Amino acid sequence: MERSKDPAVGGRGAQSGAVPSRFGLASREADGDWRDHVALLDGDPPKLRTTVTEEHPKTILTFNQSPDIGFDRSINAYRGCEHGCIYCFARPSHAFHDLSPGLDFETKLFAKPDAAKLLRATLAKPKYKPRPIAMGTNTDPYQPIEQRYRITRQVLEVCLETRHPLTITTKSARVLRDLDLLGELARLNLVAVAVSVTTLDPKLSGKLEPRASAPAKRLDALNKLASAGIPAHCSIAPVIPAITDEFMEAIVARAAALGVPSAGWIPLRLPFEVAPLFREWLSVHFPERGDKVMSIVRSIRGGRDNDPDFFTRMKPTGVWAELFRARFRLACKRAGLNKQPFELDCSQFRPPESGGQLRLL
């Protein structure tokens, strides 16, 4: 695998915006005005700036019928994610806006400030039936712009008022800023929080997920969540062969020592537009082992970079996949994890009035 001609893009996961599009959009060699001006500068190019566009959809709750995932509805308060995780399977969604899944995905963000209002309207519908709402399934609900918009917090407030269960997945220690609401929700058995930890090496994390919380901060967040009585789950996601898999056992052991009751792992997925971005990232940061990484990825995905099929997309096959499973099972057995499964309570739900006010009785 040849090394990229360009140096690493500081503070960002993707190294460019030039990737193929399944929607037939014109490819771009430049990404915004940053690349366009590189040739005109004597020194370093200007830093990529993050922009946020407010979006006002008609609905906020997305329903799905996927047979191989554990939720049927979700809320994504933001589009795009400044965390910049190079492996993020949500990157292709930016192509819907004629934006690149590369640098555009982590610099041109969208926020939905009406999310809580829209959620109230949905929950007030007479035929609505509650089931846990998943947050963080596409982009992180606690990415940096949550500090300004607080959309996730507003959604939590609605869920607490209506006694609606939800789950959260994040790579950010910012989740602790809502510890008060999460504690109340947990007391009513209405919330579970998964924090994703990919590696224990902060330098590697800075390359893989440059603007996510450092691994130590994520582990600390897990500890504080568990100590507050909030069901906490350590998600080792994704496991990247020959890059992060060496940390699997150590992450499980650390999580158990911090009082986290459960853990899980998800293998690397490389949807259509993500695969070339990941290959480019390998050529910049790990040129000496890029071919090995991709060879193992293909071996667990039936000879392809990615397996998009239901059921098999989450369950890699082959010798390497079985090795990872065996290692994870043994690590959990040693640490005493995954012994107490939990289910959230849907029976307490009390719909708001259509005007937004809660029922008195």
CATH number of the domain where residue 266 is located: 3.20.20.70
Q: Give 293-319 as a DSSP string.
A: HHHHHHHHTTTSS---STTTTTS--SH
Is 19 among the domain residues?
Answer: no
Place of tokens 């060879």: 295
The distance between the two most distant Cα atoms of the chain, rounded to a whole number of Å, is 69
Residues counted in the chain: 361
User: Is the predicted pLDDT of residue 278 greater than 90, yes or no?
Assistant: yes
Is 268 among the domain residues?
Answer: yes
Is 14 among the domain residues?
Answer: no
What is the model's pTM? 0.88
Is 17 among the domain residues?
Answer: no
Is 3 among the domain residues?
Answer: no
Rounded mean pLDDT of the chain? 88
Q: What is the pLDDT of residues 178-229, one digit of tens each?
A: 999 999 999 999 999 999 999 999 999 999 999 999 999 999 999 999 999 9
- Band the pLDDT of 3: cuts 50, 70, 90: very low
**What average pLDDT score do residues 57-63 get?**
95
Residues 324-340 as b or e (16 or more Cβ within 10 Å = b):
beebbeebbeebebbee
| Rounded Cα distance, 361 and 343, in Å | 26
| Rounded Cα distance, 12 and 335, in Å | 35
Q: Which of 159-163, 275-279, 307-311 has the lowest mean pLDDT?
A: 307-311
Q: Give 152-177 as a DSSP string.
A: HHHHHHHHHHHT--EEEEES-GGGGG
Residue 297, both tokens: 């990825």
Q: Which of 239-248, 281-290, 296-305, 312-321 has the lowest mean pLDDT?
A: 312-321
Percent helix, strand, coil in the chain, to 5, is 35, 15, 50
Which residues is 32 bridged to in the sheet? none
**What average pLDDT score do residues 50-76 get?**
92
Sheet containing strand 232-239, strands side by side: 61-63, 73-75, 133-135, 166-170, 191-196, 232-239, 262-267
Place of tokens 């079985």: 322
Which residues is 232 bridged to in the sheet? 193
Is 290 among the domain residues?
Answer: yes
State the residue range of the domain holding 74.
47-335
Q: Of 101, 111, 197, nearest to 146 (Cα)?
A: 111
Place of tokens 């996601």: 237
What domain count does the chain have?
1
Is 41 among the domain residues?
Answer: no
Is 185 among the domain residues?
Answer: yes
